[in-house]
Amino acid sequence: MNHSVKQTPAHQLILNLQVVPLPLVARHEEGPKRVFDLNYEVDATLSGMHAILFVSGESSEKFSLQLPQVKSGINSVEIKLPELESSETQVWQLKIGNNSKDFKLDVDPVRQWHLHISLHSHTDLGFTGPISEIAAIHADNTDQAMALMEDTAHWPSESQFRWTMEISWQLEQYLALRGPEAIDKLKKFLRSGQMELAAMYAGEHVDALGHEEAVRAFYLAAKYRRELKIPVDTAMLCDVPGSTEGLVQIMAKAGIKNFIIADNNFCAPVLKRTDLPRPFNWKSQSGDEITTWYTDHPFFAYIEGRNYGISESVSAARKKLPLRLLEQEKAGYAHNLLHVQYAFDNFRLEFRPALVVREWNEKWEWPKLELSTPRRFFNALRSSGAHIPTRSGDFNEWWTSTFNNYPVETSISKDLHDRIPTIETLSSLFTPWNQSADSQNEAFGKIYHNLLAWDEHSGNGQIWEAEDPEKEKQALAEGYGFIYDAQAELDIQEKRLKEKIGRSFQTAPENSFVVANSLTWERGGEVALEDWKPGESYCIQDHSGESQAHGIVANTHGDIIFRASSVPALGYRTFTVQHQKDCGCNHSPELKTLQSVVKTEDSITLTNGVLEIEVNSSTGEIERFEHLSDGKILDNFTHSDPLGQVQFWESQLADSVQMGRYIRSYYEGVPGQPVQLKLPEVCDVNVRSYTDSRGMEGIEIIYSIEGQNWLTRNLSFDARGKRLVLSYTFHHEGLFSSGLLDRLDHSSGTPSMIYIAFPFSLDSARFNYESTGMSLEAGKNQFKGSNHDFYAIHRWALLRDRDTAVAIYPASSLIADPGEPALMRFRSEYPKDTNALYFRVMPSAGWSNRSWGMGYLEQNLKLHFEIEGFMGSELASCTEQVQRYGAERATDLLASKIDTSTIGKLDCGDRQLVELLGEGLEISTIKPAESHSDDLIIRIRETMGRDTQGRLSLPGYDYQYIAECAITEEIQVWIISESDQKVKLDFQPFEIKTIRYSNHQREAGNT
């Protein structure tokens, strides 16, 4: 350990003498020389005199050094002494005239630091300019990087130019701009490792990604890895403070070994609180591991290198770098190898760091600087034999709440997370019975990339400081284009799929249709049959002529809405539609629940024999929510907020948010205690009961100001009568013209948010939720410094105490705060008393106001929640039930009309095409293999966090070989099937398996 020594005895003329042995060794013809910073202060009487320094050690020779003339005040001198071979105690004596001072200094041989500097350009899709301009900048960087690699090829290895493409989007855009032949030149550099391709598609908000979407974030890099034979085993996530545990398995199974999180701590106090070592092996519950590095600079993250003079000059680096390394030594950093990134947002490549590194290494022996790449750094660290500790847990990120700025598009994105795999799976299931050539992978690849580009951290494409309104408009059009293009392309695929399924049948009676199920279990659900006569009455029968629904009237669009039952897992069931007058039956077996509405002067009560809610007629709030069969009141809300109440909250921060400025309270997470804002008194509430077109009763509550409706709430029960359904429509026009948001008393102008409250009378409940690729318990095994303010909820959240559990299914909402609204609270601990979830809706001060007028936000925001209670005997299996219902609610059955003019291969009736048995197992997607589209890929997830065994078979197909693959589809091991293509599969908790069926025993792929 090095010691700096300070001495300030009384009546001395030499004051504040300080020596700092630096981790800096100069090259010298006499041998390496260690650098010490000597500082002292002198009284004015000594000014102009000569100072002499004597240094003697136990083993080393004695030195006397003539120092520069003393000046009044502080004197700083760089001292160079021969580098030691072993630790020793030295005596240092400073003599000025008759004054002298001496002291002892323990000196160790210098720590031999080796810095790996990774140059890249941080990629924001938006933020600094329109996305198309950003793509051009990154393409220019790639060209320049190659030219510089050629120019510096004869330089010493450490200073040869190296460059990293932070995300695979950069390479995709490069090839689109330069033409596919541009890869020939690039390949050489990517293969040699001079240039590195990092593996993620874009800088994702990882915890917001859909299950299959998260997997697809690594598909493009894996394709380049396979086709170009380049090494890709490192992923970078820059700017985003945190990532979620589910991604660890996905990355590891995509052949990724290394992960860099350059955590921008702006509004995210990760570093202030974390105790994670650097790097650490992040281990998931599935047993997968990935070596993870995070940047420890409090506010420069990936810009870090700039702060150490690397982009300026050797003398600038001499001043800053050794102090930074001393800091690392003091902080207990364990390795001699250190990774430093140098990047800026969509910036143009800089060559200067290469010059500085070359000159530095000529002058200084230690520390060594090297232009590197993340992969090169991790490989060097591993071969140094460094011990890397292992940690398990979640690193829930802090920035996902940016999605609240575009709530309509967030609900579209959430819908796509489950809809894309549904369409993809059904397209694959019905492919073998069609002759249609398949560009399916290309189409779905494009859809996923658009979705991933939207779920990236820069948001809607807007420019931080747009000077030109036309530029801003272009940026927003390109940014919003991602999500709307993904949606439109999927609509096209769905339409094609319906036609394809319709042509798959041999013979069928007139007016037959098929209902297809992409889930792993038999299920029922509502479907819409198109092209019938509005107002006409119909009867639905199954293939055997049994009536399924009698007397259903086609709506004004000509749709028959019908609840199909018992549709086989991963298969189909066919039905026929008859005019009611011809059907020959006179009843409908459809389940009707016993609903009733009771009105009094003060309230309206809705009951179905299982659940009962009572709504106050003047406030519009739910006053009671009761589970009748158990005689238990889920809540009477006497001591908490009413269930489903819309609330307005404002944070009270010490400093207002200023983009790009270092504000200490933000980096340190100084909380702003949020306060609830009162609704203006002019707000009217109108409560009524109604019956919908299917005969379901409901309660409607309309909120208005001076005749302008800004919110409609609908309360009803689901078709099975088990769940309370809460629908919200925030009327864009009403919010705008009523001036509601302006009328709120926004006192401090700090971040504000509209919330929906879901409190329950539970006793310190545990909070589990579905996250990306797995489910998690909030607050349990969360890394210190990760986010406790809010969580990104996928299909379900479950609050559970000893006697009761309540599930919430948020169809189109993403972000929920447990316990209480935690807007900028920067909670360092999980709240103890979690009996409520508060879902974030959108900011209440301006609804992403720069997008007004773009047309994107001139639509209503519709949110949909379902609530289900569990008590008594249901408790034991409630998580299984919630997981299943969550999947069913997020995944529609697909109905299409059978085309009787074509002849396919399937028979009418019902049939299961793929069979998967095993508790808690779900198929994520079924698709043609990327490399050979005649191979079939089946991806399976374990969802309950348990070891389990599954059995997969394909009764309707004819494949000879079965292989287990990397998540990116490369064959890893051939499996012996039991018989008839049946395979037994063992699953770890939350494990994802990718199985490949083929008629060719292909070579194992590289990962």
**Chain positions contacting Zn ion, by CB under 5 A:** 124, 239
**Nearer CB in complex with Zn ion: 123/541:** 123
Using the minimum distance from each CB to Zn ion, give the nearer residue, 124 or 626.
Answer: 124
Nearest CA among 487, 428, 287, 379 for reference residue 995: 428
Q: How far is the CB of 122 from Zn ion (least distance, A)?
A: 6
Calculate the alpha carbon distances from 142 to 146, 192, 850 in Å.
Answer: 6, 15, 33
Q: How far apart are CA 225 and CA 236, in angstroms?
A: 16
Which residue, 284 or 458, has its beta carbon nearer to Zn ion?
A: 458
If the CB atoms of residues 346 and 812 are measured against Zn ion, the closer one turns out to be 346
The secondary element (H helix, E strand) that includes residue 840 is strand 836-842
- Is the CB of 123 or the CB of 953 nearer to Zn ion? 123
Burial of 330 (0-12, 13-18, 19+ CB in 10 A): exposed
Residue 185: strand pairing partners: none
Going across the sheet that includes 948-953, the strands are 915-917, 948-953, 983-987
Residue nearest to Zn ion (CB): 239
To Zn ion, the closest distance from the beta carbon of 26 in angstroms equals: 38
* Closest distance to Zn ion from the beta carbon of 131 (Å): 13
Shortest distance, position 457 Cβ to Zn ion, whole Å: 6
CB of 346 to Zn ion, least distance (A): 9
State in angstroms the smallest separation of the CB of 347 from Zn ion. Answer: 12
Taking the complex as a whole, the smallest distance from the CB of residue 750 to Zn ion amounts, in Å, to 23
Report in angstroms how near the CB of residue 264 gets to Zn ion at its nearest.
7
Minimum CB separation from Zn ion for residue 238, in Å? 6
| Cβ–Cβ under 8 Å, residues 205 and 457 | yes
Nearest alpha carbon to residue 773 among 245, 203, 393, 291? 245
Task: Kindly state the smallest distance separating residue 293's Cβ from Zn ion, in Å.
Answer: 18
Q: Closest approach of Cβ 345 to Zn ion, in Å?
A: 6
Residues 241, 669 contacting (CB under 8 angstroms): no
CB of 202 to Zn ion, least distance (A): 10
Report the residue number, 262 or 926, with the smaller CB distance to Zn ion. Answer: 262
Looking at the Cβ atoms of 205 and 216, the one nearer to Zn ion is 205
Strands 836-842, 797-800: parallel, antiparallel or unpaired by DSSP? Answer: unpaired
Q: Is the Cβ–Cβ distance between 668 and 647 less than 8 Å?
A: no
- CA triple 910-440-429, angle to 5 deg: 15
* Token pair listed for 603: 């309230």
Task: Report the distance separating Cα 179 and Cα 173, nearest Å.
Answer: 10
Shortest distance, CB of residue 426 to Zn ion, whole angstroms? 36
| Cβ proximity to Zn ion, 123 vs 373, nearer residue | 123
Minimum Å gap between C-beta 667 and Zn ion is: 16
Among residues 202 and 567, whose Cβ is nearest to Zn ion? 202
Nearer to Zn ion, 202 or 845 (CB): 202
- Look at residues 277, 315, 316, 317 and name the one whose alpha carbon lies nearest to residue 294: 277
How near is the Cβ of 679 to Zn ion at its closest, in Å? 36
User: Closest Cα partner for 57 from 30, 22, 25, 92?
Assistant: 92
Q: What is the Cα gyration radius of the chain?
A: 33
Q: Which is nearer to Zn ion, 124 or 394 (CB)?
A: 124
Closest CA to 924 of 491, 436, 428, 516: 428
Tokens of 128: 């600094």
Half-sphere exposure in the Cβ direction for 36 (13 Å, CA) = 27
Task: State whether residue 673 is helix, strand or coil.
Answer: coil
Q: Which CB atom, from 458 or from 578, has the smaller least distance to Zn ion?
A: 458
Non-local CB neighbours of 792 within 8 Å, separated by 6+ positions: 205, 207, 208, 244, 400, 771, 772, 814, 815
Looking up tokens 């105490």 gives 801
Question: Which of residues 239 and 397 has its CB atom nearest to Zn ion in the complex?
Answer: 239
Which residues are within 8 A (CB) of 961 and not within 5 positions of it... i.e. 6 or more apart? 974, 997, 998, 999, 1000, 1001
Between 458 and 504, name the residue whose CB sits nearer to Zn ion.
458
Tell me whether residue 204 or residue 239 sits nearer to Zn ion (CB atom). Answer: 239
Measured from the CB of residue 163, what is the shortest distance to Zn ion in angstroms?
Answer: 18
Distance in Å, CB of 323 to Zn ion, minimum: 28
| Nearer to Zn ion (CB atom), residue 212 or residue 239 | 239
CA distances for 780 relative to 236, 393, 825, angstroms:
26, 8, 19
d(CA 909, CA 566): 12
CA pair distance 371, 355, nearest whole angstrom: 10
Centre a 10 Å sphere on the Cβ of residue 699 and count the other Cβ atoms it contains.
22
| C-alpha dihedral (241, 244, 249, 251), degrees to nearest 10 | -30
Instruction: Report helix, strand and coil shares of the chain as percent, to nearest 5.
Output: 25, 35, 40
- Count Cβ atoms below 10 Å from residue 846 Cβ, excluding itself: 15
Q: Which residue has the tokens 């541009």?
A: 182
Does the CA dihedral 516-518-524-530 come out positive or negative? negative
Residues whose CB falls within 8 Å of the CB of residue 166, separated by 6 or more in sequence, listed in order: 120, 121, 122, 123, 198, 203, 236, 238, 343
Q: Residue 772 CB, nearest distance to Zn ion (Å)?
A: 20
- In terms of CB distance, is 239 or 370 closer to Zn ion? 239
Phi/psi-derived region of residue 910, left when phi > 0, alpha when psi is between -120 and 50, beta in every other case: beta
Shorter beta-carbon distance to Zn ion: residue 203 or 818: 203
